[in-house]
Each structure stands twice: as C-alpha cells, then as structure tokens.
Amino acid sequence: MSYTVPKLADFSAAALDSAVRELVSALEQESAAVSSENDWKAFRDRWIARKNGILTQLNDLWLKAAPGPNKRDVGQRVNALKPRVEQAVDATLARIQSGVSSGKLAAERVDITLPGIRRPLGAEHPVIKTMNEMIGVFRNLGYSVEEGPEIETDFYNFEALNFPPNHPARDTQDTLFIAGQESKPLRDRLLLRTHTSPVQIRTMQKMKPPVRVVCPGKVHRNDALDATHSPIFHQIEGLAVDTSITFCDLKGTLDHAMKAMFGSSVKTRFYPSFFPFTEPSADVQISCIFCDGKGMRDGAPCRNCKASGWIELLGCGMVDPNVYGFVDYDPTKVSGFAFGMGVERIAILKYGVDDIQLFFQGDVRFLEQFG
C-alpha cells in the first residue's frame, strides 16, 4: 500500500523519530519496486513534485502544524529528509538505466563488459605494404612525404623536368593524354602522370632548400599488359637538394636503403644511364637476393638475375641544373640528387611473384597469402 503522510498529534522527539523511520522504510520499499523509467517518473513525482509531492506535504502536515516549541525539532528532521529522498530518487534512476532492476534475473542483464562483434579487418595489399616499408626506410633518414595529383599538366610532367616540346626523350614514356585538349597551349594540356617527378617540381616551388622528400603514388603509361608491364603501377621517387650535395651522397643513401629493404649483405653498383632531368645519371643494380650474387642457384643458372648475379632496380642521378631554372633555385649555390623506383618491381622480388598482373586482378586467394 502506498505511503501517506500522517498528521502528527504528538511532536515529541520519540514520535518524530518513529514517523521518520516509517517514511524512510516506505521510501526504500517503493524505490525497490520501480522497474522501468515510467515507474520511476511516477515515483519521482510522488515524492518530490513541487505541488503535492510527499516532501511538500511534510511542510504542510508536519512543520506548519507543529507547535512553536517543537518547530525546531520538526524542521531539522524535515530538512534532513529532503536530500535523502532526492538521493533515493537519483539512485533509483541510475539502477534503472543500468538495466539492473530488482525484478530482473541475472541472466537477463546486459553485460556491457563483453566484447562486441569483431569485424575482421583486411590485410594490407602487398603493393601498399611494400610502399609503406620503403617510405619507412627514407623517413628514418629524415625524408618527409609529399603527394600530388595524378592528372597533371604537360608543364609539370615534362617541360619543368627538362623535357622540351618535341624532345625525343618524351617518346620513351607512352603517355595517356586527356581528350579534348587540342585548343590549349601544350604546357597546359592534361595527361595522366607518367612518373611522380612532378611532385618534386611542386615541392621545390613551395619550399626553399634544404629539401628532402619522397614522393609515392600511382602512375600511368600506355604499356601493353603482360607479366612484367602494366598501364597502372606505383613509384616512389626521392629528391634531396642542399648545398654541397654530391654523387657520393646519392650512392650512400641508396646503398643504405637497399640494405634496409633486402638485407645487410646486399651490394649495389651504379652504371651510366640517361634521364633528361638528371646529369650525370645512373641505373642501380643490387646483387641478386636469390643466388647471393653468384649467378648460380641449386646447381643451375639463376633465372631471376639471368645468371648475371645482379638485378636492375632503379634509376637515379644528380639534378640537372636546367631543372632549377623552373623553380627559382640558384644552381651555383645548391645541388641535389633524385631517384625513382617501381614499387611493384620491389614487391615482385620480396614476395617471389612472377606476374605483375596478380597484384591488380583482385583474386582473394592470392591476396590472402599476404595477411
């Protein structure tokens, strides 16, 4: 039966204490009976509503009705009851919100400490994984990472890299041009970038030396698809520009990077090559990681290095002074080197893949091997 505030005829200390105990007992019983938020709202309004709540009734039926000499004792008890009732109302709500009502069985409770449904995450694609490993090597050398657009202008992709219009070197990169560009000046025509070197130009335009960056990203060339070629592939290019940088710095940097990626026993060698944006230029080979540079493997010629003991991996060189003219660098005060390597080529070596197409076909059976 719900509690009703009684009218007091006896205002002695003993009678007041008895009335308080009866009220507190009723408060606890009604609190324990609350099992939903709707019940709690009714419970709250019944006890602390301003107009007709039980706390309000205590003022009318106990405090105001008490004789003058007893008002102090009654007031003390009423004032002590107010925070106790409010605390009980708050505690009842907290219990309801936690889902632990007195009428619920333990089996019905929601244990919020249990782990949720775990959604398995996919593994890194082998090309992305290799790219991140390579980026990490150069980050440890103090290089920062720069990125740029995949759709570039002729100026950034060719002209600013010392590929003048109609230069024969442009023919070595089978470029994919965006249609409908004939009315634009040549330098403004759009194309799919054939290397990430334009990012180096953009970086030098916004930064003054010293510059040390690596530029990873996707590039496009009009190559026929076969086991070793793809019209879409990934590159990482690097650039370092400062005072007094020499070819020795370039060799030391790349030798360290190759050892970090393929093991400390790997050797490097440089031999002359040609790139329009570097002079002098070199191709870099590493000693074959499959036959330890011997050219023979399991008593037969090594197929990976074609029995030479060396595998060609990347190109590099000292930045051509002509390039500095496009970015307002003074070639008499600064020098630098650049290098570039294909990520898929390195991934093929690291994982023993024999067909570059496997990286792009999306065959889950192939990709699961790298999880």
- The angle at the Cα of 217, spanning 212 to 221, to the nearest 5 degrees, equals 125
Give the Cα separation of 32 and 92 in Å (integer): 8
Instruction: Return the domain boundaries, the chain.
Output: 13-108, 126-370
Task: Check residue 36 and give its pLDDT.
Answer: 86
Query: What is the pTM (predicted TM-score) of this model?
Result: 0.65
Query: What's the rounded mean pLDDT across residues 167-178?
Result: 77
pLDDT digits (tens, 9 = 90+) for 177-207: 889 888 898 889 999 999 999 999 999 999 9
pLDDT digits (tens, 9 = 90+) for 2-46: 788 888 888 888 888 888 888 888 888 888 888 888 888 888 888
CATH code, residues 126-370? 3.30.930.10
Task: Check residue 108 and give its pLDDT.
Answer: 58
Task: Check residue 103 and give its pLDDT.
Answer: 47
Task: Check residue 102 and give its pLDDT.
Answer: 45
pLDDT digits (tens, 9 = 90+) for 320-369: 999 999 999 999 999 999 999 999 999 988 888 888 888 988 888 888 88
Beta pairing partners, 275: 278
Task: Check residue 10 and give its pLDDT.
Answer: 83
